[in-house]
Amino acid sequence: MNEVMIEAAGITAKDKVLDAGCGVGGSSIFMASNIGCKVTGITLSERQVQQATANAKRKGTDALADFKVMDYCNTSFPDASFDAVWGCESICYAGDKERFIKEAYRLLKPGGRLVIADGFVAKFENNDNPIIRQWLDGWQVNYLESPGRFSKFMEQAGFTNIIYRDISKQASHSSRRLYRFYFLASLYLWWRKFSFSNRATAMQKANIKACKYQYHGMNKGLWQYGLITGIKQ
Longest Cα separation, the chain: 60
Cα angle 127-133-136, degrees, rounded to a multiple of 5: 95
pLDDT at position 60 over 90: yes
Mean pLDDT of the chain: 95
Residue 201 DSSP class: P
* Amino acid at position 52, single letter: A
Residue 203: the pLDDT is: 86
What global pTM score does this model have?
A: 0.93
The segment with the largest mean pLDDT, out of 145-149, 189-193, 206-210, is 145-149
Residue 137: Cβ within 10 Å count: 16
Judge whether 12 and 35 are in contact, CB under 8 Å.
yes
pLDDT at position 211 over 80: yes
Cα angle 73-93-141, degrees, rounded to a multiple of 5: 145
Q: Which of 33-42, 189-198, 204-213 bottoms out in mean pLDDT, i.e. has the lowest?
A: 189-198
Per-residue pLDDT tens over the stretch 130-183: 999 999 999 999 999 999 999 999 999 999 999 999 999 999 999 999 999 999
Task: Report helix, strand or coil for 61.
Answer: coil
pLDDT at position 195 over 70: no
**What span, in angstroms and rounded, lies between the C-alpha atoms of 231 and 61?**
28
Residue 187: the pLDDT is: 81
Answer yes or no: is 157 within a domain.
yes
* Domain CATH code at residue 161: 3.40.50.150
Per-residue pLDDT tens over the stretch 71-122: 999 999 999 999 999 999 999 999 999 999 999 999 999 999 999 999 999 9
% of the chain beyond a pLDDT of 90: 90
Answer yes or no: is 53 within a domain.
yes
Length of the chain: 233
pLDDT at position 192 over 70: no
Using pLDDT thresholds of 50, 70 and 90, give the confidence band for residue 232: very high
Domain that holds residue 78: 2-122+142-168+221-232
Answer yes or no: is 132 within a domain.
no
Answer yes or no: is 174 within a domain.
no
Residue 145: the pLDDT is: 98
**What span, in angstroms and rounded, lies between the C-alpha atoms of 27 and 59?**
13
Judge whether 48 and 23 are in contact, CB under 8 Å.
yes
Answer yes or no: is 113 within a domain.
yes
pLDDT at position 196 over 90: no
pLDDT at position 223 over 90: yes
196 sits in the region (left: phi over 0; alpha: psi -120 to 50; else beta) called left
The answer for residues whose C-beta is within 8 angstroms of residue 47's C-beta and 6 or more apart is none
**What span, in angstroms and rounded, lies between the C-alpha atoms of 53 and 140?**
25
Answer yes or no: is 52 within a domain.
yes
Number of domains in the chain: 1
Answer yes or no: is 54 within a domain.
yes
Q: Nearest to residue 146, comparing CAs of 117, 114, 168, 119?
A: 119
The answer for residues whose C-beta is within 8 angstroms of residue 89's C-beta and 6 or more apart is 21, 117, 118, 119
Answer yes or no: is 179 within a domain.
no
